[in-house]
Structure 1
C-alpha cells in the first residue's frame, strides 16, 4: 500500500526535464511515507479532528480493525502509524505468502512479547486471500488479546471474510483518492525531489486521472515521467500517454468492481439516463468485461424494466447480441451501445415482471388445480361423456372475436395479475383490457 504525504509547496524555480536523484533506489512512494496521521491525504473522514483513527490514537487504545479500500489509499501506512501511536510492536505478514504454520509462529512470538509486557499489532495485508480455516485461526488470539489485528483488503469484507472475524473487528472504509488529493501528492513529490514535473497543465490532469484514485500509482507514474522526459522537454497529454501507456482500470470481473458497474449500468437504464448508461457501459468495455455478459444483462433490462411499455426493446436488445456475435469486437460494441441508449430512452414498466412474480406465487400456493372442463380437449369418448370441452365457445366465431368465458379454476376464481401502466404501448393494452372486461361483464349480465 502506498504511503501518502499531505500537500507541500513546490520548490522555487524548479528545473524540468531532468530526473531527480533517487535516494538509494528507494521508490518515491516509500520516500514520501507519512510520519503522522495528519500527513495522510484523501482519508480526512478517518484522520480529521473527529475521525475514527484520530479518536483511536487519542485514546491510546485499539481494537481489531479491518481496513477496506482500493489499492494505494494508505492502509498499510495507517497500520504502522497506529502501532507507533499506541506503543505496539508492529508485525506485518501477507496472506498471499503465509499459511497456518506461519501464523502459529507469529502468534507464539506475540505471546512471548505479551509475557514481557509488549503488545503486538499484527498487520495482515490482503487478508481476504486467507481461507475460512485460516481466518478462524485468528479468533482465539484476538479474543485473549495476544494480538490486535489490523487487516487490509481491497474486497468487500461482507463477502470475503467470515462473520465470526467481522464480529470481533471494526471495519474502516478507505476511499479512493480524489483528483485534489492526487494533485497534492504530486506537489509534495516535486517539493521533495526539487524538480517540477515536465508536463503541460493538460498532461498533468491526464496523469491525475490515470492514477485512478491510487496514490502509489500516481507517484510511480510521476517517476516514469521524470525518467522519460529529455532535458528541457515538456510533455503534452499525447506524449504522456505514449510514454506511460495507460494504467489498467481497477476492475476484477469476479469481484465487487464487476457487480458495482453492472448495477450502475442497470440502474441508469432503469432511471432513463442514456448518458450515464453509456458511460458505465464504456467503463465495463474498457475494463475487458465479457461482451456477451453485458448483452445478456441488456436483454434482462428489456424484459424486467421496460416490458410491454415498449415491446420493441426486447427485439433491439436481442439484435444487439446477434450483431456483436456477427461483427465481433470492436465494431460489435457499437451495437451494445445502441441498445443501451435505446433501453434508457424507452418508456419503463415492470408490470410484466410484477405480474410474473404474482402468478408464480399463486401457482405455488394454489397447488395442482385442474382448469375448468370447458377449455379441456376431449380426444376420447369418455372425456366427452364426462364433460371435457362442453360449452366451449370459439372466440373467433364470437362478436368482437371475444367470448368472455371464465378460464380460471373454480377453486380460486378469476384473478387480476397484470396491471399495465399508463406509459408507452401499455396504455393501449390497458384500454384493450378495460374494453374486454366490460364485454365480459355485459355477456354475463353483470353490467
Structure 2
C-alpha cells in the first residue's frame, strides 16, 4: 500500500492528459503564490530552510492554498523522500507499512517526509501512533488540515509539531495564478473585465477551484468575450466555505457579534447574511441575537431583548425566507442601540462575591420569623418596612453582617442607563444619610 503513495520508489509511467491544476503545480517554493508570510526569509518555513533544520509541521488553512504543494517542495528542498497518505483512506495496517518503509529508508541513509492529508480525520489512537516515529527520527511529519488543530489534534502531537497557518488567496493572488494559467494555455480567457473579476470571486480564495474554472472557460468555443451575466449562466457559483459545526461557524458568529457590539449595522448585516447563505439555522442566530441584547446592550436600551424575542417569534410564525427579515430588523436595531455591559459586569462580580461568601447568612433583621423560637433569637427584629419610610426608602443594609458593602452595578452615561445612574446615585446619598442618622 505504501508504494502507491511513495514517490521515492515509483517508476515513471506514460502520462495521459493532465489537469491544468496539476500542470501548473509549482516546481520550487519561490513559485508558490500567496504564502510569503511563511515562506519568505522572515517566515517560519523560510527560517527553518535557511538554518537547514526542518521540524514536523501542521499546515492549517482552507482548501486550495498549497498545503500539498508546499509539503512536496519541502521534501525536495531537504532531500527527504516524499510519502503522501490521506487519513480518509489509510488504516492502521497501511500506516504500519508506511512506518516500516521509512525505517528501511532511514537505515539506508535517507529520511522520510510523511505528508498526511486531512490529518484531523485520524482518531486519538491513530494520532498517538505517529509519536514514537517522530521522536526517533523515522519520519518528519507534515500534516494538513482545514480544521482548527487546537480542537482536532491531540496535545501530544501538537507539542511535537509547529502549526503553520496558511491564508486563503486574495484576488491579487488569484489574478497572478490566472495569468500563469493563460501562459500555460497560450491564450487569454475570453472574458470582459467584469467577468474576469467575477471568475476570481467565484473561486472564493481557492487556487485549485480557480484553475478548474479557468480550464472550463478555456474550453468554450466562443467568438467574443462574454460578460458577467453570461458567465453566471454558464458557471455555477462555488458555494462559500462554511461548516455549521466547525471553525468557520465560530469565526462568523464572532464577527457578527463583534460587529453588533461595534455599532456597525452594515458589517453586522453582512456577517448575518454570510451565515444564512452558508446554511446556518436562523434559530441559532435568533438565540445569539437575544444573547447580544442582554450581554452588550442591557439596560442601556431595555427594549432590545424584547425586539429580539419578537423577531424570533415572528420567524417561528413565518418561517424562511420571510421570517429572516424579522431577524435582520433585530440585527440593525441591536447594532444601532446604545451599548452597555454594566449589568453583565455587575452580574459576574456578584457571582464571584457569592462564591467567596457563600456560607454567610443574611442579616437577621430581614429574615422571616414564622416561629416563636426564631423571634426569640432575633429573626426580623429591627426590620424597617420601606413603604413606611420617608421617600419609600429605609436605607437598611441587606448584605451579610460584617460583610463590607460592595458596589457591583456601575451604569454608564449611555442610553436609558443615564436615568438609572441618577437613581443609583440618589439612593446612595439617601442610604448614607439614613445610615449616618
Q: TM-score if structure 2 supplies the norm length? A: 0.92
Q: 1:67-88 deviations in whole A, cap 9, x for unaligned?
A: 1111101110111111122221
3-state SS in 2 of match to 1:285: helix
Aligned to 1:206: 198
Q: 1:309-357 deviations in whole A, cap 9, x for unaligned?
A: 1111111122221121111111111222221221111111111111111
Aligned to 1:127: 119
CA, structure 1 residues 50+395, in 2 after alignment: closer, same or farther (shift >3 Å)? closer
Aligned equivalents of 1:79, 1:413: Cα separation in 2: 62
3-state SS in 2 of match to 1:150: strand
Q: 1:112-143 deviations in whole A, cap 9, x for unaligned?
A: 11111122111110111111111111111111
Aligned equivalents of 2:82, 2:187: Cα separation in 1: 34
CA, structure 1 residues 371+246, in 2 after alignment: closer, same or farther (shift >3 Å)? same
Given candidates 201, 206, 223, the residue that maps to 1:232 is 223
- Once the two structures are TM-superposed, the CA of residue 385 in structure 1 deviates from its matched residue by 4.8
Aligned to 2:432: 441
Aligned to 1:261: 252
Aligned to 1:171: 163
- Once the two structures are TM-superposed, the CA of residue 368 in structure 1 deviates from its matched residue by 2.9
Aligned equivalents of 1:83, 1:70: Cα separation in 2: 22
Aligned length: 423
Aligned to 2:5: none
Which residues of 2 match residues 290-329 of structure 1 at below 5 A? 290-329=281-320
Aligned to 1:20: none
Given candidates 375, 380, 395, the residue that maps to 2:386 is 395
Given candidates 341, 358, 364, the residue that maps to 1:350 is 341
Aligned equivalents of 1:440, 1:393: Cα separation in 2: 13
Aligned equivalents of 1:243, 1:89: Cα separation in 2: 43
Which residues of 2 match residues 271-286 of structure 1 at below 5 A? 271-286=262-277
Given candidates 404, 415, 419, the residue that maps to 2:410 is 419
CA, structure 1 residues 368+55, in 2 after alignment: closer, same or farther (shift >3 Å)? closer
8 Å Cα contact 1:37-1:54 kept in structure 2: no
Gapped regions of structure 2 (runs ≥ 5): 1-14
Aligned to 1:35: 27
Gapped regions of structure 1 (runs ≥ 5): 1-22
Aligned to 2:353: 362
Aligned equivalents of 1:168, 1:407: Cα separation in 2: 56
3-state SS in 1 of match to 2:427: helix
Aligned to 1:17: none
CA, structure 1 residues 364+196, in 2 after alignment: closer, same or farther (shift >3 Å)? same
- Once the two structures are TM-superposed, the CA of residue 375 in structure 1 deviates from its matched residue by 2.5
3-state SS in 1 of match to 2:424: helix
Aligned to 1:91: 83
- Once the two structures are TM-superposed, the CA of residue 442 in structure 1 deviates from its matched residue by 2.2
- Once the two structures are TM-superposed, the CA of residue 413 in structure 1 deviates from its matched residue by 4.7
8 Å Cα contact 1:369-1:411 kept in structure 2: no
- Once the two structures are TM-superposed, the CA of residue 403 in structure 1 deviates from its matched residue by 2.2
- Once the two structures are TM-superposed, the CA of residue 387 in structure 1 deviates from its matched residue by 4.1
Q: TM-score if structure 1 supplies the norm length? A: 0.90
CA, structure 1 residues 371+60, in 2 after alignment: closer, same or farther (shift >3 Å)? closer
Aligned equivalents of 2:50, 2:179: Cα separation in 1: 30
Aligned equivalents of 1:59, 1:396: Cα separation in 2: 80
